[in-house]
Amino acid sequence: MQEEWQEQQNLRRLQVMMQFLLASIAQDRTMTVDEAAQLVAHTRNAALRMFPGREMAYNLLCRPKIQRAMRERFQIQ
């Protein structure tokens, strides 16, 4: 029961982190591509610390959203 509760808490934290990350990339016009990439890396590291061994899930669920936000904001291929 405690593990399930902790997993739900971590999922909520990840959702909030992703919302913050995507909003920051989209809305902070002073942010450079390097700063955005650094923020992405920190978010990824935090997510994988909360969910060890779930890198594939991160890559399938979070990465496409981040890539889309980066492409739209910085017009990168």
Q: Give yes or no for a contact between 21 and 40, defined as CB atoms under 8 angstroms apart.
A: yes
pLDDT confidence bin for 32, thresholds 50/70/90: very high
Average pLDDT, the chain: 96
Q: Summarize the confidence of residues 14-39 as an average pLDDT.
A: 98
Q: Give the per-residue pLDDT at 76.
A: 85
Nearest Cα neighbor of 52 from 1, 8, 10, 2 is 10
For 36-63, what is each residue's pLDDT tens digit?
999 999 999 999 999 999 999 999 999 9
User: What pLDDT shows up at residue 24?
Assistant: 98
What integer pLDDT is reported at residue 77 of this predicted model?
Answer: 72
CA–CA dist 65, 58 (Å, integer):
11
